Amino acid sequence: MATYQSDGKKLIDVEYDIVVTLGDTIDGMRVLSVDTNAHNEYAVFLLEPNTRITCYVFDEIFIIGKAEGFENLSDAINAWKNEEI
pLDDT at residue 68, as a whole number: 93
pLDDT digits (tens), the chain, 85 positions? 899 999 999 999 988 888 899 999 999 999 999 999 888 899 999 999 999 999 999 998 899 999 999 999 999 999 999 989 8
pLDDT at residue 85, as a whole number: 86
**Distance from C-alpha of 63 to C-alpha of 11, rounded to nearest angstrom:** 8
**Distance from C-alpha of 58 to C-alpha of 44, rounded to nearest angstrom:** 8
